[in-house]
């Protein structure tokens, strides 16, 4: 697949078919993705993959905690505030989801209804957890983002859809215990891989991007 086609066709899939992705395909995706650049060739990433019974245990554990409103405790805390312009774009996303899944419940229950699929990993057959040493800084976080994007683009080459979500790392103790992740590694984020279930309404909204003239400041004199 042409790289521009991969960039343009990639989207965050929030509903997956249960069909498994072969281990060989997952490893090919990850092998290609680890060609991502990193500062000083530090390659700070440590990657843990959950599928099969291991993922089902995590899915059950996450769903139970969410159902009982157990507070999350991610290794990387969420921002306390967002700039107004970013808040507006986030509201637009939530509005699109609300239109796709109309409900007559209270705003709090409606939000929980929208968030709930995150805690079942959108039904994906494989979830990749990206980790790095706790001693590392924002410099390495940039490298980790480069790896994540490379995974999603490499997945496009193999016809595999993806979803990256901070909420996948909501309960790191469950992930750490089941995947034998050492305590000296921070669990940053999760990335679901699988095949989109296009029939599910939740996967239909496609959010536009900011126009280039709003994003890029170009000066050549």
**pLDDT tens track for 110-159:** 778 888 999 999 999 999 999 999 999 999 999 999 999 999 999 999 99
For residue 92, being part of any structural domain is answered with no
**pLDDT at residue 98, as a whole number:** 66
**pLDDT tens track for 19-67:** 999 999 999 999 999 999 999 999 999 999 999 999 999 999 999 999 9
Q: What residue numbers bound the domain in which 64 lies?
A: 3-78+119-215
pLDDT above 90: percentage of residues in the chain? 73
For residue 203, being part of any structural domain is answered with yes
For residue 196, being part of any structural domain is answered with yes
For residue 168, being part of any structural domain is answered with yes
Query: Count of domains in the chain?
Result: 1
> β-pairing, 161-165 with 46-51?
unpaired
For residue 205, being part of any structural domain is answered with yes
For residue 140, being part of any structural domain is answered with yes
With 0-12 CB in 10 A as exposed, 13-18 as middle and 19+ as buried, what is 189? buried
CA–CA dist 150, 13 (Å, integer)? 16
For residue 103, being part of any structural domain is answered with no
Query: Residue 2: how many CB atoms within 10 A of its CB?
Result: 9
**pLDDT at residue 97, as a whole number:** 66
For residue 195, being part of any structural domain is answered with yes
The CATH number for 28's domain is 3.40.109.10
Strand (E) or helix (H) holding 49: strand 46-51
């Amino acid at each position: 697949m042409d790289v521009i086609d991969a960039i343009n066709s990639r989207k965050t899939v929030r509903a997956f078919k249960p069909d498994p992705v072969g281990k060989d395909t997952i490893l090919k995706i990850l092998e290609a993705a680890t060609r991502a650049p990193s500062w000083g060739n530090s390659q700070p990433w440590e990657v843990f993959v959950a599928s099969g019974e291991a993922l089902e245990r995590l899915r059950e554990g996450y769903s139970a905690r969410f159902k009982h409103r157990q507070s999350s405790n991610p290794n990387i805390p969420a921002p306390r505030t967002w700039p107004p312009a970013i808040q507006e774009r986030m509201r637009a996303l939530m509005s699109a989801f609300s239109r796709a899944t109309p409900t007559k419940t209270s705003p709090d229950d409606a939000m929980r209804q929208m968030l709930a699929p995150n805690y079942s990993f959108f039904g994906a057959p494989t979830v990749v957890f990206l980790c790095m040493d706790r001693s590392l800084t924002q410099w390495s976080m940039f490298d980790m983002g480069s790896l994540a994007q490379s995974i999603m683009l490499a997945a496009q080459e193999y016809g595999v859809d993806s979803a990256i979500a901070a909420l996948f790392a909501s309960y790191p103790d469950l992930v750490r215990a089941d995947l034998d992740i050492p305590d000296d590694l921070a669990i940053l984020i999760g990335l679901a891989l699988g095949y989109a279930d296009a029939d599910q309404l939740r996967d239909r909204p496609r959010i536009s991007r900011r126009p280039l003239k709003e994003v890029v400041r170009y000066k050549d004199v």
